[in-house]
């Protein structure tokens, strides 16, 4: 079993195996995304409360979900990397960070663009927004630490540890901000009503969510392959592979 995992998780094996997967993931992400956007932008009805502005939902919500999902992937694979010393896991974590950061960024930007028409301000200091912002900072911290430490192995372990500590922190932040806000219930906190989901809105939303996941899967594979090439640059399999290119 152990040997099987070791062999299966060797960068060389991964490199060979991942190429077709990338193709499948990216093609299906594209198809689902296009169909989801078509349904979302053309078919879904106008929201009676928010007007057309709600159509931001089809990118905002999937991006927000992904930003959290990717962080979990990053933390879990960092944990695997630290505990079982599996290099591939470290690579997946390192490859996930920039993708997750860009999802968090998209969620923030689209959210605040949505906030202006809905709340009259680009930004309010409420629980969800604040914890998303801090999530972005956690990603940035991970990336900064990763690039600041020269020794690759230490960099992986150190930033992996940070990712894990960050996991402990995320729920704490979330509940602390929430509690802090509800204590101060007032004109400040703009509660947004959860739009009662019309089925015609829900379907494109879910399609987009799946498309984003597939997109992430394709991207993380591509980036992990790069990491594998770079980190194994002195091993024979990379040398032979590059010479064939």
Partner 1 sequence: MFEAKSLECVRDDRLLFNDLSFAVAESEVLQIEGANGSGKTSLLRILCGLRLPEAGQVLWQEESIISNREDYYASMVYIGHLPCVKGDLTVLENVRSLLDTRSLSLSNEQIEVALAKVGLASYEDVPGKALSSGQRRRILLAFIELSQAKLWILDEPLTALDVQGVTLMESMIMEHKQAGGSVVFTTHHGMQLECEMSSVQLGRRSRG
Partner 2 sequence: MNWSEFFHMGGYAFFVWTSYAITFAVMLANIILPIVQRKKVIARIKRSIKREQIEQNREST
Partner 3 sequence: MLKAYYHLLIRDLRLALRSRHELANPLIFFVLVVTLFPLAVTPTPDALQTMAPGVIWVSALLAVLLSLDRLFKLDYEDGSLDQLMLSPNPLMILVLAKVTAHWFLTGLPLVIIAPLLGIFMSLPAEAVIVLIYSLLLGTPVLSLVGAIGVSLTVAVNRGGVLLSLIILPLYIPILIFGANAVDVAADGLPVTGQLLFLGAVLALALSLAPLATSVALRITASR
Ligand X SMILES: Nc1ncnc2c1ncn2[C@@H]1O[C@H](COP(=O)(O)OP(=O)(O)OP(=O)(O)O)[C@@H](O)[C@H]1O
What is the pattern of x (binds ligand HEM, CB under 6 A) and - over residues 82-111? -------------------------xx--x
Q: Is residue 7 at the binding interface for partner 1, with CB under 8 A as the rule?
A: no
Q: Is residue 239 at the binding interface for partner 1, with CB under 8 A as the rule?
A: no
- How many residues bind to partner 2 according to rule CB under 8 A? 36
Question: What's the min distance (Å) between Cβ of 181 and ligand HEM?
Answer: 14
- Spatial separation of the C-alpha atoms in residues 26 and 16, rounded to whole Å: 17
Question: What's the min distance (Å) between Cβ of 214 and partner 3?
Answer: 29
Question: What's the min distance (Å) between Cβ of 133 and partner 3?
Answer: 7
Among 20, 45, 234, 243, binds partner 1 (CB under 8 A): 234
Question: What's the min distance (Å) between Cβ of 93 and partner 1?
Answer: 19
Question: For residues 150 and 193, which CB has a smaller minimum distance to ligand X in the complex?
Answer: 150
Residues 106 to 135 in contact with ligand X, rule: CB under 6 A: none
Cα dihedral sign, 116-118-121-127: negative
Contacts of 184 (CB under 8 A, 6+ apart): none
- Spatial separation of the C-alpha atoms in residues 97 and 105, rounded to whole Å: 12
Residues 42 to 61 in contact with ligand HEM, rule: CB under 6 A: 57, 60-61
CA angle at 121 for the pair 116 and 127, rounded to the nearest 5°: 105
Among 12, 123, 167, 235, binds partner 3 (CB under 8 A): 123
Whether the CB-CB separation of 219 and 64 falls below 8 Å is answered with no
Q: Is residue 132 at the binding interface for ligand HEM, with CB under 6 A as the rule?
A: yes
CA 208, 54, 68, 187: dihedral to nearest 10 degrees? -170
- Spatial separation of the C-alpha atoms in residues 75 and 89, rounded to whole Å: 10
Q: Which residue's beta carbon is nearest to the bound ligand HEM?
A: 111
- Spatial separation of the C-alpha atoms in residues 84 and 64, rounded to whole Å: 30
- How many residues bind to ligand X according to rule CB under 6 A? 2
The item of ligand HEM, partner 3, partner 1, none sharing an interface with residue 161, based on CB under 5 to 8 Å by kind, is partner 3
- Spatial separation of the C-alpha atoms in residues 206 and 57, rounded to whole Å: 11
Q: Where are the alpha helices (DSSP H) in the chain?
A: 2-8, 11-38, 57-84, 87-119, 127-148, 152-183, 199-231, 236-244
Q: Using CB under 6 A as the criterion, which residues of the chain lie in contact with ligand HEM when the complex forms?
A: 57, 60-61, 64-65, 107-108, 111-112, 114-115, 118, 128-129, 132, 192, 194
């Amino acid at each position: 079993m152990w040997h099987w995992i070791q062999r299966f998780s060797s960068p060389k094996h991964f490199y060979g195996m991942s190429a077709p997967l990338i193709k499948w993931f990216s093609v299906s992400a594209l198809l689902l995304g296009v169909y989801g956007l078509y349904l979302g932008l053309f078919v879904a009805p106008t929201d009676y409360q928010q007007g057309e502005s709600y159509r931001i939902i089809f990118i905002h919500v999937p991006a927000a979900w992904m930003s959290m999902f990717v962080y979990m992937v990053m933390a879990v694979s960092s944990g695997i990397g630290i505990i079982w010393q599996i290099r591939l896991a470290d690579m997946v974590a390192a490859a996930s960070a920039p993708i997750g950061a860009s999802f968090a960024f998209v969620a923030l930007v689209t959210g605040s663009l949505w906030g202006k028409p809905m709340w009259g301000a680009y930004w309010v200091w409420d629980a969800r927004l604040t914890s998303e912002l801090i999530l972005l900072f956690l990603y940035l911290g991970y990336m900064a630490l990763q690039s600041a430490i020269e020794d690759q192995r230490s960099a992986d372990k150190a930033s992996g540890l940070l990712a894990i500590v960050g996991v402990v922190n995320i729920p704490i932040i979330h509940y602390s901000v929430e509690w802090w806000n509800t204590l101060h219930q007032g004109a400040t906190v703009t509660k947004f009503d959860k739009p009662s989901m019309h089925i015609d809105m829900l379907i494109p939303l879910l399609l987009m969510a799946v498309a984003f996941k597939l997109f992430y899967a394709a991207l993380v594979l591509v980036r992990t392959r790069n990491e594998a090439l770079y980190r194994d640059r002195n091993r024979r399999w990379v040398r032979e592979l590059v010479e064939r290119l």
